[in-house]
Amino acid sequence: MGKPTGFIEYLRELPAEVSPRDRIRNWDEFHLPFPEEKLRTQGARCMDCGIPFCHTGNQINGMASGCPIHNLIPEWNDLVYRGLWHEALDRLHKTNNFPEFTGRVCPAPCEGACVLGINNPPVTIKSIEHAIIDKGWEEGWITPQPPAKRTGKRVAVVGSGPAGLCAADQLNKAGHWVTVFERADRPGGLLMYGIPNMKLDKEAVVLRRLQILEQEGITFQCNTEVGKNLPVEQLLKDFDAVVLCTGATQPRDLPIPGRELQGIHFAMDFLTANTQNLLDRQPHANFISATDKDVVIIGGGDTGTDCVGTSIRHGCKSLVQLEIMPKPPESRSPDNPWPQWPKVYRLDYGQEEAADQFGADPRGYLTTATHFEGDENGQVKAVHTVKVDWQRNDQGRMTPQPIPGTEAVLPTQLVLLAMGFLGPEQPLLDALGLDRDPRGNVKADYGGYATSLPGVFAAGDCRRGQSLVVWAFNEGRGAARECDRYLMGHTQLP
């Protein structure tokens, strides 16, 4: 490395952010630029490890440890330290089709597995990745690169989220004619409608990359739902191969008394309608407003946080977020050692904004809803809750048990369910007659991605279940490789 003692000499530093009080007034990204000299200093903290766990991409204890797409992190850290930005971009693009997405929304399992993180704050890998790709766009280094030769093969990619875009990009690079089918009015899937604009700008970031993909020869066909307005028989007839990247879009419901009341919505319906409203710059019939309402969000994770940040920007009156799990510890517990993903307490952007607005972190841990209460018009007006204690049942499984005397009532006019997803929607899989695994996902081996129907592959959340954007990248690239092998008898895709 250019600075062998950098990890000893320099402290971890992150880019500044617009203050919560100011950023909630708009829907803009709020991370401020980081001076180049500071970025080079942060790159110098990389240790040139003999075994760089940051890009291993393993699954440990059910969670990602290291980068699932095996980004060559020490190499581009060193190149940034030496000021070789174009070379750093080339190195980054070897493994990552869209670093502008992961640099903004990936939770950075690479940092959780950083060797320096054993006894010091880890290297700021995500910030450096973000800076490399943004500099590439600013300098005009990223331009359309259509393939020099076409194979004549036609491939359909169903779904334009992270896995679908990676699969399409790789298959196009191999010279195949690629058409991406998307049922929404715009391509991008989760990147377009599942992640709010303040985390991932749609026009400045997502649409910019989609335009490059179109200029490279990829066709996007929106407002097209395979199995409904495009019969599966037509799809299989018109294309030499199909890659399914439909995501895990079936939300987990909360079937408790009062669920039928008005004002109770799935988180994705709330987030999608909000982004549509912003992009079209006009109110939509399906828009769900949190303005002047007492909002209760049930569930955590990124989706719950995004509901918090969106509700605050609407101007909600109050906000509570219920989490059935216990509050994480401030530092790693003994049963969560490095290089596992650190399950520690974090104040994410939404909770930081809520704390600024209302005086405290809005999350209530070890709490569950027991029933919803409505008014005379069928509108939700309260959520009844109880504290829980996790205990082992007769089968040895940990289950939440209500604690008598801890009941409470929360006033609310808007409830958002952010409890994760059960898997892919089944009608398309039924129409294709595909085998499913016990969880209802498309059955296709990891690494092979072939479904039970010859010529049809599956990747991303519809195959593995709800997961990280970076795992979708991993699977989209892998499915493209195996699809290319199926079409040509061999492949040069990584």
DSSP letters along 324-384, please? SSPPPPSS--TTS-TTS--------HHHHHHHHHHSS--EE-SEEEEEEEE-TTSBEEEEE
Render pLDDT for 413-457 as a digit per residue (tens, 0 to 9). 999 999 999 999 999 999 999 999 999 999 999 999 999 999 999
Distance CA 102, CA 81 (A): 21
Are 263 and 377 members of one domain?
Answer: yes
Query: For the chain, what is the largest distance between any 2 Cα atoms, rounded to a whole number of angstroms?
Result: 71
Are 261 and 221 members of one domain?
Answer: no
Residue 78 belongs to domain with CATH number: 1.10.1060.10
Are 158 and 282 members of one domain?
Answer: no
Q: Of 325, 323, 297, 322, give the one whose Cα is nearest residue 310.
A: 297
Distance CA 482, CA 140 (A): 32
In a domain, 243, yes or no: yes
Are 413 and 268 members of one domain?
Answer: yes
- Residue 106 CB coordination number (10 Å): 26
Rg from Cα positions in the chain: 23
State the DSSP string of 193-226: IIS-TTTS-IIIIIHHHHHHHHHTT-EEE-S--B
In a domain, 1, yes or no: no
Domain count, the chain: 3
In a domain, 145, yes or no: no
Q: Are 417 and 254 in contact (CB under 8 A)?
A: yes
pLDDT of residue 1: 64
In a domain, 494, yes or no: no
Residue 282 belongs to domain with CATH number: 3.50.50.60
**What is the mean pLDDT, run by run of 10 residues, along the chain of 494 residues?**
88 96 97 95 93 92 93 96 97 98 96 95 97 98 98 98 98 98 97 97 97 98 96 97 97 98 98 95 89 97 97 98 97 94 95 97 98 98 98 92 98 98 95 96 97 98 96 98 98 96
Q: Of 402, 419, 436, at which residue does a domain stop? A: 419
Q: Are 409 and 438 in contact (CB under 8 A)?
A: no
Q: Of 419, 435, 459, at which residue does a domain stop? A: 419
In a domain, 388, yes or no: yes
Q: With DSSP H G I counted as helix, E B as strand and the rest as coil, what are the percentages for the chain, rounded to 5?
A: 35, 20, 45
Q: What pTM was estimated for this model as a whole?
A: 0.95
In a domain, 146, yes or no: no
Are 236 and 260 members of one domain?
Answer: no
Are 285 and 412 members of one domain?
Answer: yes
Distance CA 160, CA 222 (A): 9
Render pLDDT for 365-391 as a digit per residue (tens, 0 to 9). 999 999 999 999 999 999 999 999 999
Are 402 and 259 members of one domain?
Answer: yes
Write out the two tokens for 207.
Answer: 């649409």
Q: Of 419, 448, 480, at which residue does a domain stop? A: 419
In a domain, 182, yes or no: yes
In a domain, 173, yes or no: yes
Are 245 and 330 members of one domain?
Answer: no
Q: Domain range spanning residue 68?
A: 6-138
Are 244 and 257 members of one domain?
Answer: no
The helix/strand/coil state of 156 is strand
